[in-house]
Chains A and B, each alone.
Chain A
Amino acid sequence: MLRNTREADEALRRCLNWRRRILAVSQQVSALHVAPAFSCIEMVDAVYFGLMRNGPDGRPMDAFVMSKGHGVMAQYVMLEHLGILTRGDLDDYCTARGKLGAHPDYGTPGIEASTGSLGHGLGLACGMAYADRIQGSDRVTYCMLGDGEMQEGSVWEAIMMAPNLGLSNLVAFCDFNDFQGLGRTRETHPHFYPLAEKLESFGWEAIDLDGHDWPTVVEAVRNRQGNKPLMVIGRTVKGKGVSYMENVAIWHYRSPNQTEYQQALDELAAAEAGIPA
């Protein structure tokens, strides 16, 4: 069990730091996707620091596709920590002299696919995982989707194909923060839920869990059946970790002002004080 272990505590601390780093970047620009990154931070961290295997060069040998491209700040700050992106890259975020935009761009170090338009990443991830399979690579492809994104028909084409192609080397996550542009996803599409049974009926293994509970996420993936693609439906809170952002739609794309920024840092510091040393 991972719960209450040093590994889990370190993950808690890392995730607070990712939030701090994203908030720091938010002070460089007039707006960025804070809340959509905060909702998936624990799951993205679980991929990079709990699940991916490193190659001999110390870099991940597995792949991660951020299909909900607007969540990419979560990935950028981790790639910076891993030395795949530089501090300068983040300093120049969304500036003409830099290379990082608000959505992932293929060709940027550590970025597997150009996403941002929803409904693309899972199909791409299926193609990658299939090519790995037939070329004898044991790479695992991880893919992060949004719950609003799950409404795209193309996602369901990929959901249909993944088991047909035998993609047991594919692990997808649904960041189920229950928000989309015009409301809560469970209210805009009440008959779309629950998701897990639908995925299972399509031939996937599906696990519904708390997407902020790092040990549970990591163990669920580590202990997967392994003979089918897996979808982790992570129940999350949009803006998780900063009280005034949680479940408040405007924080989808906005930078906190100085006062709000300080309050956010104070809240993160208080949360950190609760983690065993």
Chain B
Amino acid sequence: MRNTFADTFYEAGKTDSRLAIVVADISPAGSIAKFREDSPRRFINTGVAEQVMIGLTAGMAQRGLRPFAYTIATFALFRPYEMIRDDLCYQNLPVTVVGIGGGVTYSTLGATHHAQEDIGLACGLPNMTVIAPCDPAEVLAATKWCVTQERGPVYLRLAKAGEPQLTTDAVEPWEFGRLRHLRRGTDVCIISYGPILKMGLELAAELEARGQSVGVASCHTLKPLDREGIIQALQGHRQVIVIEETTPNGALGQQVKALAWECGARCRLDTFALDDAFHHVYGNHAELLAAHGLSTAAMLERITKT
């Protein structure tokens, strides 16, 4: 994901001299290194200093540049949260804050490096746009959108490197602010975002094997949320399942539940998210997710319960 981001940003930066990137001692190699060589003045490394990373992007945006801030999600969003709120959101500036390692991606590094609560926190900010692509192809589309957008601040949540493509056969293209159906089904609709969407596809296969028609959708834009698209999913299926790699408060599951109430949905609704807890578990990503109750088997057990 980070390489796709870097490549896409680099290509856009060739033709748009307003694009700049401010990193805090963490930078994708490859294309961003090339960007730095080509345009040294549009690359800033603040070092281990995230508050001024955001302050700089804000001031630069106020002077017409289109800066991106980039570091590990916990340090991109949590550490300078008030700078993001006041400098970027309150002033409504077109700055993209890129957080890598969303959720518990950095599974062995402990909760200091887990952006577990990032979606709820980012969505809670007025003027903020929140995008979480599920695979490199969606990172490409989302980054292309970010480099030209004029709406205001964006939190672009990425994982790390090596994620598989999940949307190659998608029945719908990526479109900002729109729930994207990757495959259609008539019984069950699984809504997810980020690389954990892969688990949604696995779950779909299990349910299909049990004779159900299952659709899977990528809710890559968490804010503004595609209310209509979600309401249609709630009204058009017998069961809706939300899977997300973030803590529940303020995240997608709670918002879908609220929409279900608003639209009087009659479907069954199951939501899966990280626990609202710090688990002192150190293993691979799948093991961390399992410690939070997020595995295909555990989900299958819950959703097939009557």
Contact = CB atoms under 8 A, between A and B. Distances in A.
Contacts of B41: 134
A152 B295 CA distance: 44
Nearest to A106: B91
Contacts of B47: 160
A131 B42 contact: no
A147 interface: no
From A122, A123, A125, A132, residue with most partner B Cβ within 10 Å: A123
A132 B60 CA distance: 8
A123 B87 contact: yes
A112 interface: yes
Interface stretch (A76-84, A85-93, A113-121): A113-121
A141 to B, nearest CB: 8
Contact of B64 (A113, A131, A157, A160): A131
Chain B at the A interface: SS class: helix
A165 interface: yes
Interface residues of B, number: 27
B86 A117 contact: yes
A165 B44 contact: yes
A119 B50 CA distance: 13
A124 B65 contact: no
Given A120-B86, A125-B59, A114 B91 contact: yes
Chain A at the B interface: SS class: helix
Contact of A127 (B63, B82, B90): B63
Contact of A120 (B42, B44, B65, B83): B83
B59 A130 contact: yes
A200 B52 CA distance: 20
Interface of A: 106-107, 112-115, 117, 119-120, 122-132, 134-135, 137, 153-154, 157-158, 160-161, 165
What 6 A-B pairs come out closest when comparing CB atoms? A127-B59, A123-B55, A131-B63, A157-B52, A154-B51, A127-B56
30 contacts: A112-B62, A113-B58, A113-B59, A114-B87, A119-B51, A120-B55, A120-B83, A120-B87, A123-B51, A123-B56, A123-B87, A124-B58, A124-B87, A125-B59, A126-B55, A126-B56, A127-B59, A127-B60, A127-B62, A128-B59, A130-B56, A131-B62, A131-B65, A154-B55, A157-B49, A157-B52, A157-B55, A160-B49, A161-B49, A161-B52
